[in-house]
Amino acid sequence: MEYAFLSEKEEAIAKIVVEAAYRVHKKLGPGLLEKVYEVCFCHEIAKQGSQYKRQLPVPIVYDELQFEEGLRLDVLVDDLVICELKAVDEINPIWEAQLITHLKLMKRRLGFLINFNVPVIKKGIERIIL
């Protein structure tokens, strides 16, 4: 499989996502519920002029059957970048796998796994490219 570079738009959104995570973490710090971070993160995304969708259903296609049963992604930014937000002590490897699955099912290439429950947000941001 040949590697394809991200588009300029994807890179620009990536910068907005990382900056939003930094701003939220700087203002709130660790220790709050995931939903609090999600609302504030989306507010920061909107302040930068980007669009977002929260708790978006992820469609599944199996044997020509399409359905949306219980699988949701946290935030989709500008219809291109998927963000999974956490507020936990440790990132479980299954969440990385879940993000990769969301990227594949939604036919997107760039995603972020962001854990706000860290002393330094830099250590809580993981970027995944397909």
Per-residue confidence of the chain (130 residues) as pLDDT tens digits? Answer: 567 899 999 999 999 999 999 999 999 999 999 999 999 999 999 999 999 999 999 999 889 998 888 899 999 999 999 999 999 999 999 999 999 999 999 999 999 999 999 999 999 999 999 9
Rounded alpha-carbon distances, angstroms, from residue 23 to 47, 58, 122: 11, 28, 12
Tell me the pTM: 0.94
In CATH terms, 8-129 corresponds, of 3.30.70, 3.20.20, 1.10.20, 3.40.1350, to 3.40.1350
Is-contact 127 112, C-beta < 8 A? yes
